[in-house]
Amino acid sequence: MTARLGLSTPPSLAAHHREFGRLPLVDARRGDRPGDLVDDVERAALRGRGGGWFPTHLKLRAVVDSSAARGPLSRSRRPVVIGNGMEGEPASGKDAALLTRSPHLVLDGISAAARTIGATDAFIAVHRGSPAVPSLEVALAERASSRIDPVTIRIVTPPARYVASEESALAHWVGDGEATPVFPDRPFQRGAAGRPTLVQNAETLAHLGLIARRGGAWFAEVGAPGAPGTTLVTVGGSVPNPGVVEVPTGTAVHEILARCGGPAGTVRGYLTGGYGGGWVAAGDFDQAAWDPDSVRAAGGVIGASVLWAIGELTCPLEELARVTAWMAGESAGQCGPCMFGLPSVAEDVRSLALRTADGVEFKQLQNRLRLITGRGGCKHPDGTARLVATALDAFPDEVALHLDRRCSVAGRRGTDPAGTLPVPPARLPGLDLRRRDFT
Ligand SMILES: Cc1cc2nc3c(=O)[nH]c(=O)nc-3n(C[C@H](O)[C@H](O)[C@H](O)COP(=O)(O)O)c2cc1C
Ligand code: SF4
């Protein structure tokens, strides 16, 4: 078992330092340069754990370059770091687990990133009401009295809306008090208050905190070669002991399930990655390796590293209908294809789940999915379209039954409550995304 992220270490700073040692200082007399960490992150081949699995060293370099391009006298050249602990995916619990049980490792990552890119402001963002707020407050108070951070790290609590945790929305919130995505510029170009902004997922930052201590070669000793290291997986649905487990990337799906007691019965499919992820039929997916390329090759999306088993007594199309309706309500209401297209998709999926759709309506749904993909200011519509399209691909027999007014679990459901996905209450698009809505 490879456990690197300190989930079983007590969360205090003293215990953290006993377990991991102190974050090394950059010592100019020794010839260290703040930017050395970027090279180490490249050696580590660390890829972001927030959903996109983008190479972290490229983001660090992009922020440094964007800052340098502004010239020494520009007032807006000083970079900003934002740790993304929002965990917008309702089925995910990994970032909350990390921020409550190992908050100092994430804060070390913010500290190391800030020093490396020369940031003068640093934030950790968790959604309003997050269980991580108290542990972060305690951790930040401990760090302030020990004066271990080069910049003060502040907690920000944007609204608990799905798109509020998209990186440009977070930068927008920090700079202007609005949690709507901004486009076309990315945060590394123009982020919080127009400044170059690094947004990294909480887990990515925890790995960064370890790389700063132990180096890139150490980090890449375990895991899949294309995306090394360990990763936190939120396992849920039809398993006896759902929860968050840490495994090397590339671990077989059946081994991950075994850490949670194995499947609780016959599994008909999996939701991978979260609600912006994708569905796969059970088939031999349990033999697949849990890394971005292998999950994609099997038809899924590793995304936010959610692995949700759907038991045979759960109708995947009913699950899909509930989640799609919620995703439609989470639009920020800024782009037509997202604001108007997603509710139409949700309505089509609802008809399918209710067994009232016919072949014409089904074709209409497929057309809509094609039309909205790639047409939003952010990736929210693409993620929702993929969620629907992969379900239609993964469960063709169930789709055919529903178009024939039947359902494979009709009359048998209700005995598998563990299969149902968590769906927060529906809200109106765009509501509550402004700071003034809360004051
Ligand atoms: C609609 C939407 C919601 C997102 N929600 C989250 C989230 O809750 N947490 C997160 O870390 N990244 C989320 N992301 C991804 C972020 O935009 C960003 O890519 C990520 O925080 C970067 O961190 P990483 O490079 O360390 O993965 C979301 C993206 C989209 C399009
Ligand atoms: S695509 Fe949707 S969520 Fe994204 S910016 Fe446009 S309206 Fe907002």
Residues 59 and 204 in one domain: yes
Q: Are 248 and 229 in contact (CB under 8 A)?
A: yes
Give the confidence band of 54 by pLDDT, cuts at 50, 70, 90. very high
Decide if 3 is inside a domain.
no
C-alpha–C-alpha distance, residues 407 and 400, integer Å: 9
Mean pLDDT, to the nearest integer, of 182-191?
95
Average pLDDT value for the chain? 94
Decide if 4 is inside a domain.
no
- How crowded is the C-beta side of 253, counted as CA atoms within 13 Å? 30
Q: Which residue has the tokens 């020494």?
A: 72
**pLDDT of 439 strictly over 60:** no
Phi, psi of 155 (to 5 degrees): -85, 135
Mean pLDDT, to the nearest integer, of 4-10?
92
The count of other CB atoms within 10 Å of the CB of residue 105 is 30
Residues 107 and 241 in one domain: no
pLDDT at 36: 86
pLDDT at 427: 84
C-alpha–C-alpha distance, residues 144 and 122, integer Å: 14
Mean pLDDT, to the nearest integer, of 10-29?
89
Helix pair angle (341-353, 396-403), 10° resolution: 80
The three-class DSSP label of residue 102 is coil
Residues 31 and 129 in one domain: yes
**pLDDT of 167 strictly over 80:** yes
Give the confidence band of 73 by pLDDT, cuts at 50, 70, 90. confident
Q: What is the CATH number of the domain that holds 148?
A: 3.40.50.11540
| For ligand 2, atom 4: residue with the closest CA | 378
Decide if 245 is inside a domain.
yes
| For ligand 1, atom 23: residue with the closest CA | 200
CA 272 – ligand 1 centroid, Å: 16
Task: Please give the helix or strand (H or E) that residue 60 lies within, else none.
Answer: helix 56-68
Residues 169 and 280 in one domain: no
**pLDDT of 415 strictly over 60:** no
Residues 86 and 41 in one domain: yes
Rama region for 32: left / alpha / beta (φ>0; ψ in -120 to 50; rest): beta
Decide if 56 is inside a domain.
yes
CA 49 – ligand 1 centroid, Å: 8
pLDDT at 417: 60
Residues 237 and 192 in one domain: no
100 contact partners, CB below 8 Å, separation of at least 6:
11, 131, 132, 135
Of 168, 201, 221, the position where a domain reaches its end is 221
Residues 337 and 358 in one domain: yes
Ligand 2 in reach of 208 Cβ (< 6 A): no
pLDDT at 431: 80
Decide if 6 is inside a domain.
no
Residues 253 and 194 in one domain: no
Decide if 8 is inside a domain.
no
Residues 203 and 237 in one domain: no
Give the CA distances from residue 346 to residues 3, 319, 324, 329, in Å, rounded to whole numbers and listed in that order: 40, 12, 5, 10
**pLDDT of 219 strictly over 90:** yes
Distance from CA of residue 291 to its chain's centroid? 15
Lowest-pLDDT range of 35-39, 113-117, 212-216, 295-299: 35-39
Tens of pLDDT, residues 315-356 = 999 999 999 999 999 999 999 999 999 999 999 999 999 999
Of 201, 221, 241, the position where a domain reaches its end is 221
Give the confidence band of 416 by pLDDT, cuts at 50, 70, 90. low
Length, in residues, of the chain:
439
> Could you tell me what percent of the chain has a pLDDT over 90?
88
Pocket-testing residue among 165, 378, 427, 433, ligand 2, by greatest number of atoms within 8 A of Cβ? 378
Distance from CA of residue 22 to its chain's centroid? 28
Decide if 5 is inside a domain.
no
Side chain identity at residue 412, one-letter code: R
Give the closest ligand to the alpha carbon of residue 167: 1
CA 66 – ligand 1 centroid, Å: 21
Residues 299 and 184 in one domain: no
**Does pTM top 0.85 for this prediction?**
yes
| For ligand 1, atom 12: residue with the closest CA | 50
Residues 313 and 336 in one domain: yes
C-alpha–C-alpha distance, residues 417 and 238, integer Å: 9
Lowest-pLDDT range of 38-42, 103-107, 262-266, 415-419: 415-419
Pocket-testing residue among 168, 330, 335, ligand 2, by greatest number of atoms within 8 A of Cβ? 335
Ligand 2 in reach of 334 Cβ (< 6 A): yes
Parent domain of 323: 228-439
**pLDDT of 226 strictly over 80:** yes
Closest by alpha carbon to 303, among 433, 370, 181, 390?
390
Bridge partners for 147 per DSSP? none
**pLDDT of 387 strictly over 70:** yes
Q: What is the CATH number of the domain that holds 342?
A: 3.10.20.600
CA 210 – ligand 2 centroid, Å: 35
Mean pLDDT, to the nearest integer, of 188-217?
97
Of 221, 254, 270, the position where a domain reaches its end is 221
Residues 175 and 192 in one domain: yes
Q: How many domains does the chain have?
A: 2
Decide if 60 is inside a domain.
yes
CA 242 – ligand 1 centroid, Å: 23
pLDDT at 413: 63
